[in-house]
Structure 1
């Protein structure tokens, strides 16, 4: 499946939602991406993982770590397909037994490649980066399905992480327009939103 075909399949599966939608922390957005629905579409999930694997093949790494929760299915498929071990960051520290924040087997100084679904401000991904680095793992790259082009890539770069994506938001909406899934007016609305709603380092401060 080509990237163009994948973009249309994601739209048809309901992973791309249009309208005046409330996003994180009360922010409004004309387009929202819910890649969690892809778990119900095995062919699409396999295609996403395959394209992410191609990006990952260009990056030296010992481990894979998906940002919880949407990226975990893609990461698991990538791990099985490539036989690269996967570790998982918990949303919260386990409060009993091992009390781990990272699940899986890993060793100091291994290089971990992060897998994410969507990057906007970069905050969620950066949180995972910090957790992995606290465990003395090397983190220099992340592969993502979509870069919304709203400042997240710059924030991550400032923290020593290079972002590589299957789609940028501008590229994705162009594909969907060319495929007749969205109108020129929708493209213009989303393009204006990208320009107006930009995030920087201050949005990811501790």
Structure 2
């Protein structure tokens, strides 16, 4: 399993899902390392590998249905659904303004246990927003499986809101694998490590208004 994880990490780097540089992140701060897992949809073998690793994490969690956080995590959730014959629902970015006017697409029942699938957790905001929507629809949400935990406080924010997160990689694990594989330098590992320590998120930065 460890060898397979190392292979996956290198593949993600080689296809451009892991990028280095002084990059502006979604939350408006600069980051020395950026993850764009949307490119994985063009690499079916990598997408399957990610889904299989997420399935291993999911196998330890009691759940009835899956929901991927739009949009990057939707392909992973879809592959997991097909592979495990687990029903999936989809959260819309905005409520449908005509016909059914749904925010969730798919079939579900109140109190079903919904496992959320996400690509990357930094502040936890996107995942929290999805959790809030699912709970408003009377679904039980206590767990999420993700590809990468950036170790910048998002997992703690989610934990404080009743969501346990299991990840394939943490940021520290990933950069060490890439260093050992000769893809990045020791200096880059240090820069990323310093960035993790300096850029921490918490509820004060976050989204108390989402979980009301």
Whole-angstrom CA distance in 1 between matches of 2:181 and 2:27: 32
Partner of 1:144: 146
Partner of 2:135: 133
- Partner-residue secondary structure (3-state), 2:165: strand
**Segments of 4+ in structure 1 off by > 3 A?**
none
- Shift of residue 25 of structure 1? 3.8
Residues 100-151 of structure 1 deviation map (CA, whole Å, 9 limit, x = unaligned): 0000000000000000000000000000000000000000000000000000
Residues 148-167 of structure 1 deviation map (CA, whole Å, 9 limit, x = unaligned): 00000100000000000000
Q: TM-score, normalised by structure 1?
A: 0.99
Q: TM-score, normalised by structure 2?
A: 0.96
Whole-angstrom CA distance in 2 between matches of 1:66 and 1:9: 22
- Shift of residue 203 of structure 1? 1.7
Partner of 1:86: 88
How many aligned positions are there?
206
CA RMSD in angstroms comes to 0.8
From 87, 90, 100, the equivalent of 2:102 is 100
Partner of 2:32: 30
Unpaired segments ≥5 residues, structure 1:
none
Whole-angstrom CA distance in 1 between matches of 2:186 and 2:101: 51
1:171 aligns with 2:173: yes
